[in-house]
Chains A and B, each alone.
Chain A
Amino acid sequence: GAVVSQHPSRVICKSGTSVKIECRSLDFQATTMFWYRQFPKQSLMLMATSNEGSKATYEQGVEKDKFLINHASLTLSTLTVTSAHPEDSSFYICSAGPTGRETQYFGPGTRLLVL
């Protein structure tokens, strides 16, 4: 149990376009999901907390207008990278856990390359 999926696993886009990444909890409901970014050989960096039915909470230094988060149901959160630029190229990973529990399970990640 406790499976989290992400789609797509890999995406290549042109600079200036927007990219949407989906994160789904497959066998549990999650009121809260988390979005991370990881650059090569660096640590995980929490970008934002996605809250079902309300606004996301962004970490300091993360532009909320650039990284749009929508958590429309208890099993789906989406991250949209708007007007992507090459510096946004990174490994984006979501995590989720059953509501009320601290245990978090990670999705397989989405590798974004902006040309």
Chain B
Amino acid sequence: QKEVEQNSGPLSVPEGAIASLNCTYSDRVSQSFFWYRQYSGKSPELIMSIYSNGDKEDGRFTAQLNKASQYVSLLIRDSQPSDSATYLCAGGAQGGSEKLVFGKGTKLTVNP
């Protein structure tokens, strides 16, 4: 299994809907997880971090971590066309370094 896996999509949702982005990880990834958003032609931007089991909410974004299932997700409520981007899931690399292991990203399109 790859260290961090994401469905590459593309994922298309109508404006106002909930977009659900998913990520699974292997035992080689530590227990810190991050979601980044990357607009076309731009660098990634950190939108959420999650370290504990359960949900973490920030505005329209909710990150969910399930350590037993090795699963991380990001929910975007009331999706807007401006949310259209590639979303990258990342986990900390084992070994105590600050290195992150990235999934390949899921491209989200929110249709007006």
Chain A residues close to B by CB (< 8 Å): 31-32, 34, 43-44, 46, 49, 91, 93, 95, 97, 100-109
Contact = CB atoms under 8 A, between A and B. Distances in A.
Interface in B30-87: 30, 32, 34, 36, 42-46, 49
A102 B43 contact: no
Contacts of A108: 42-43
A102 B105 contact: no
A105 B46 CA distance: 7
Contacts of B104: 43
Interface of B: 30, 32, 34, 36, 42-46, 49, 88, 90, 92, 97-100, 102, 104-105
In terms of DSSP, what is the predominant structure of the interface of chain B?
Answer: strand
Nearest to A92: B43
A34 B43 CA distance: 13
Contacts of A102: 30, 32, 34, 92, 98, 100
A44 B88 contact: yes
B97 A106 contact: no
Contacts of B30: 102
Nearest to A111: B41
B44 A44 contact: yes
Nearest to A41: B40
B58 to A, nearest CB: 14
Given A108-B42, A109-B43, 15 more contacts: A32-B97, A34-B100, A43-B102, A43-B104, A46-B102, A49-B99, A93-B43, A95-B100, A100-B98, A104-B46, A104-B90, A104-B100, A106-B36, A106-B43, A106-B45
Nearest to B103: A43
B44 A106 contact: yes
Contacts of A44: 44, 88, 102
